[in-house]
Structure 1
């Protein structure tokens, strides 16, 4: 069974800001991607990777700017990657940094993806790939990721450094000339997206390693990408907008209602059990931190009956 990738919602804010700056409607962009606007206030919330791909594609169509992903990631750099950026800045060499990123990315930032180095004689490919089967927004997401990969290498080789070549999948790239200008090199097409540069660069030393005790050196909670965890995250998202339903969750996962039920049963749980746990957890948080009545908390958690101790 193919996995359902999860990612953190950190790119949501910059995307919304770029859409507004271009005169577009973030509400319309998020609506097309079926993502609640409340995520703008929760950058560490987990969402489906396929939903992020849809959001990037929707933003591009809204403002007519195919170079938007490259513009966002090259501007933000590794600082936007949170704990992944910390791992980069803590490494002694570029090669060590890329090995760290390969190891921790699926744990802390984004599952169902691969990022790492493949050597081919005198050249290295620092690549990125989405393992989940989805086509909507795939190429745009590659461009977004490649901008962050470029920022990683430039931490060691300088802001003016340019790769020998950038590779993306597919046979056509909208906005190719502008994206080449942002990346500073030619873009080619191939079976795997990535940056190509001389292998010897992997020995480059870190010119500015972070000091122990930096306030941004903390780690995120690991991402759990099993099916039950995906269902729980989707229910929690739906609580922000409407009453969650098993049919809506199954549709977001690309499954039939019965298939979702069967696969959850295979893991020893049921949709109703996950839903109850998510609602109870949300209610506990609201009871502890907000001056709300029991009725208001029931409404916020989409409960039809008053909560009982």
Structure 2
């Protein structure tokens, strides 16, 4: 039976992990899926339009079909949208309606696999083509298959919405393979349960566990042997080779400085502390060791933070209608005047002047905005 082969493969190396990367690396995510999600988010919640600018990601960057974004920027968009709407289940709702084709070639790779087990093995093995610094593992024990998911990136401070989004996608993926009557045996989450538990129960319709070491979808292992209708060995082999090449080309990870930039952007988006002591702790270093590492790169933390602030400010001024005072507040300035001075020292013109030049609007209107 096919199931026995899958179990033997996993037992040969119980610690096998597909698509995982060095924990010191900062994660990235493909632009394509992010762009599709932002379109859906803006459609369902118009007030979230332009949220990419709040984490310093321009529309031009999103339009690059082969581009990769900081994973922290993506998770921050989800968290900010959920926080501002007061909807802690937003990630699940977006994942439930997400079109699997938006995942790109990996969706075709799964579709052409021989069985559900092959499809999930491919999903785990080539997940790095979509997202890096993330551990995805398929394992089997006592007749229960377990598809786990965990981000391994110190720059990601907030990840509850990403967990709901990702598990909802995996749930839909399995329902597509096994039919709408399929039900999971259980779902586990890293985060704690909240007042929205009834929605979780309604969507997943199975036992739920919170506060676990990783996110995971559990189901009957016999499902792994179910054959797929569109199986195509030759096409599947070609797709595997193509994705392996994509992953090889993207083997370079964000370096420490870019990871810190992503961490700062995520923190500013949620209006939480960006003190050096906090970032050093999240990156697993003492403050002194952290400063030494930055000195080795020829930079200091305050310069990095100021650069991130000005970059986010430029995105928001150019792509949103947010008032200058609101932008200053999000970026952690106590006064708009301090923001204007800092922006001018970084960019060479005031926020009002920059918005006027980039958007071609009247100076008085720019000042009011």
Measured against the shorter chain, the TM-score band is 0.5 to 0.7
Q: Matched residues in 2 for 1:4 and 1:183: separation?
A: 31
Pick aligned residue for 1:14 from 37, 51, 73: 37
CA contact (8 A) 1:111 1:225 kept: no
Q: Given the alignment of the two structures, is residue 113 of structure 1 paired with residue 134 of structure 2, yes or no?
A: yes
Q: 1:93 to 1:261 in 2, by over 3 A?
A: farther
| Partner deviation per Cα, 1:194-242 (whole Å, 9 max, x = no partner) | 111111111111133369679xx6758322243459959x8xxxxxxxx
Residue 221 in 1 paired to residue 255 in 2?
A: no
Deviations 1:36-62 (A, max 9, x none): 233443354201111111111011123
Where do 5+ consecutive residues of structure 2 fail to align? 1-22, 262-278, 299-346, 348-369
Correspondence for 2:217 among 190, 195, 204: 195
Task: Tell me the number of residue pairs that the alignment of Structure 1 and Structure 2 aligns.
Answer: 249
Q: 1:172 to 1:134 in 2, by over 3 A?
A: farther
1:143 aligns with 2:164: yes
Higher helix share: 2
CA RMSD in angstroms, aligned pairs only: 3.6
Assess, with a 3 A threshold, how the Cα gap between structure 1 residues 140 and 49 changes in structure 2: closer, same or farther. same
Q: Deviations over 1:146-190 (max 9, x none)?
A: 122113322321133221211111222463322332333342212
Is 1:262 aligned to 2:296, yes or no? Answer: yes
1:111 Cα offset (Å):
0.7
Indicate the structure (1 or 2) with the bigger Cα radius of gyration. 2
CA distance in 1, matches of 2:162, 2:25: 18
After superposition, residues 22-101 of structure 1 pair within 5 angstroms as 22-27=45-50, 29-101=51-123
Could you tell me how far apart the structure 1 residues matched to 2:246 and 2:295 are? 27
- Does 2:197 align with 1:176? yes
1:275 is aligned to: none
Whole-Å separation in 2 of the counterparts to 1:43 and 1:71: 25
Contact kept, 8 Å, 1:4 with 1:225, in 2: the verdict is no
> SS of the counterpart of 2:183?
coil
The secondary structure found in structure 1 opposite 2:126 is helix
Conserved 8 A contact 1:176-1:187: no
Distance 1:152 1:136, change over 3 A: same
Aligned-residue offset at 1:33: 2.5
State the TM-score, normalizing by the size of structure 2. 0.58
Question: Which residue, 147, 151, 158 being the options, matches 2:179?
Answer: 158
Distance in 1, matches of 2:181 and 2:72, equals 33
Distance (whole Å) between structure 1 residues aligned to residue 30 and residue 195 of structure 2: 26
Which residue, out of 152, 160, 163, partners 1:131?
A: 152
Structure with greater contact order relative to length (CA < 8 Å, sep ≥ 6): 2
